[in-house]
A and B are shown apart, each in its own frame.
Chain A
């Protein structure tokens, strides 16, 4: 089951780190970084059903 309630231990820290990770990259490089990041997180999540729910939610939001 996809968690959509607040689950980040330190939302501001993690969001700031995400933005900082992109610092100095071109748009193409940022796209590539995002793709790698999503694949890494997908592997961490693992469960195919959860991933399907996440993709569906992202598509319709």
Chain B
């Protein structure tokens, strides 16, 4: 993505700041570099916690192109906490069914079969510019209510000098350059992260020798709202192909082109149309909305934290698009980092709590890279023997259910469970594994609304058929109790075979610890641990 390209939406036009007229650099608490999905969500999370945050972006809004289109349930739950999920759900396309083809035959279809009793579906499809715009709309709404968030478009960071207490930034604008000082710097500046480059930090991993062509087309077609994936399609438009619906009658079409291609020739609209025509048939009329050829790598930084500089989203880790694990994992980075940074800045937690951001999210990144790499290896086999096995799996998948569990056109993003995290406290073996310490709280209906909506912005003490005081005050936190009684969903998702349940839930809705009965000393100890005070 080149800077200053055409914008889909102008959201934060350049405006001269008083900081540019100062003789000594203005001092900020937190500067976020990058106004993409991750940077916007980061600013929103911190701002809603009352942490003053300044976002710098070299553009003035959202770039063109659908780009990321698949947003996961967990991503929507996080956006809901940030006040941005409503318009995403209104605009987005919900889908559940996927079909897998080999050549000209349908091998099988799958249904994501969403479990009932959750506020959000497994996925929605939505063009990235809308996703970013809705996050920005939520920032405007938060600003109107006094959230200390400032956006500066047309501000390009050209130099960064980190030190023990923060960082000094040189910034270029159309009115010339100026200097800023910040206590904390969060780099959300994407896969090509200029900040990472300026700091000379590595970004190693595996390059996949393949090119993929995206052709987003607008058409009135009666294809169902399903994800269709072809291995070696009969229409020969690519070694694999994908068809997936987006809002506004736009369809994502993706063709695998191979490694040795003439990019310029392949981007010729006539050539793209020939590929699309072969796939859709001669009678379907459509407009090309956005086309792009991409290659990808699976890689991450060794460390996401470098003192007072923290990396999040694609700047820290990059995956292939198969599995929708890019933007969705970036939002989980935000979810993890926001409350920790706020707690450290407020003096409620030791600085080392931020090291657990790195540990937990590297765990997530490695899981995403593993899944994404395996999907890519299945879709684009790297050796004749690998291709032979791949096609053997496909041949069997048409009739043999076991082989379908091996077919891999992308293992779709599910939230990471922080098993083994130092922040996790006691577990109860009477309760379901899905809500063990480290996992994301499963949503559930309650008489007063969705469970996740009823959790506090800080820690929450959730009790089910168990006594506890209405609030617990310890370690600088005032923790409200959410008292619930049994429902079928709560029993299945939280209680298991226990008579009662007491859950300590982190601000990012991950379970910190759980017990069958309330014990103030035990909960206080687990709270200290979840705040990183136990090290």
Residues of A within 8 A of B (CB): 3-8, 11-12, 15-16, 18-19, 22-23, 25, 27, 30, 57, 61
**Bound: A57/B392 CA distance, A:** 12
B12 CB, min distance to chain A CBs, angstroms: 42
Known: A18-B389, A27-B384. A4 touches B374 (CB 8 A): no
Residues from chain B with a CB closer than 8 A to the CB of A4 are 400-402
Residues from chain A with a CB closer than 8 A to the CB of B371 are 12
B187 CB, min distance to chain A CBs, angstroms: 31
Q: Is B406 a contact of A8 with CB atoms below 8 Å?
A: yes
B411 contacts A by Cβ under 8 Å: yes
B399 contacts A by Cβ under 8 Å: yes
Q: Is A6 a contact of B401 with CB atoms below 8 Å?
A: yes
Tally A-B pairs: CB < 8 A. Answer: 49
A-B residue pairs in contact (CB < 8 Å), sample of 23: A4-B400, A4-B402, A5-B401, A5-B402, A6-B405, A8-B402, A8-B405, A8-B406, A11-B406, A12-B374, A12-B411, A15-B378, A15-B393, A15-B408, A16-B374, A16-B377, A19-B385, A22-B383, A22-B386, A27-B385, A30-B385, A57-B400, A61-B395
- B294-317 vs A, Cβ < 8 Å mask (1 yes, 0 no): 000000000000000000000000
11 additional contacts (CB under 8 A) given A6-B402, A15-B374: A3-B402, A6-B401, A7-B402, A12-B406, A12-B408, A15-B389, A19-B377, A22-B383, A25-B385, A57-B400, A61-B396
Closest to B397 in A: A61
**Bound: A14/B528 CA distance, A:** 40
Residues from chain A with a CB closer than 8 A to the CB of B374 are 12, 15-16
**Bound: A15/B404 CA distance, A:** 12
Q: Is the interface of B mostly helix, strand, loop or mixed?
A: helix
Residues from chain B with a CB closer than 8 A to the CB of A27 are 384-385
Near A by CB (< 8 A), chain B positions 373-395 give 374, 377-378, 383-386, 389, 393, 395
**Bound: A54/B324 CA distance, A:** 36
Residue from B386, B395, B396, B404 within 8 A of A19 (CB atoms) = B386
Near A by CB (< 8 A), chain B positions 340-382 give 371, 374, 377-378
**Bound: A27/B383 CA distance, A:** 9
Q: Is A61 a contact of B406 with CB atoms below 8 Å?
A: no
**Bound: A8/B406 CA distance, A:** 9
B367 CB, min distance to chain A CBs, angstroms: 11
Residues from chain A with a CB closer than 8 A to the CB of B408 are 12, 15
Residues from chain A with a CB closer than 8 A to the CB of B398 are 61
Closest to B396 in A: A61
A23 CB, min distance to chain B CBs, angstroms: 8
Residue from A18, A25, A61 within 8 A of B399 (CB atoms) = A61
**Bound: A11/B397 CA distance, A:** 14
Which 10 pairs show the lowest CB-CB distances between chains A and B?
Answer: A30-B385, A11-B405, A6-B405, A22-B385, A6-B402, A11-B406, A19-B386, A61-B395, A15-B406, A4-B400
Residues from chain A with a CB closer than 8 A to the CB of B402 are 3-8
Residues from chain A with a CB closer than 8 A to the CB of B396 are 61
B296 CB, min distance to chain A CBs, angstroms: 18
**Bound: A3/B402 CA distance, A:** 9
B20 CB, min distance to chain A CBs, angstroms: 52
B378 CB, min distance to chain A CBs, angstroms: 8
B100 CB, min distance to chain A CBs, angstroms: 15
Q: Is A61 a contact of B386 with CB atoms below 8 Å?
A: no
A17 CB, min distance to chain B CBs, angstroms: 11
A15 CB, min distance to chain B CBs, angstroms: 5
Residues from chain A with a CB closer than 8 A to the CB of B386 are 19, 22
**Bound: A24/B395 CA distance, A:** 25
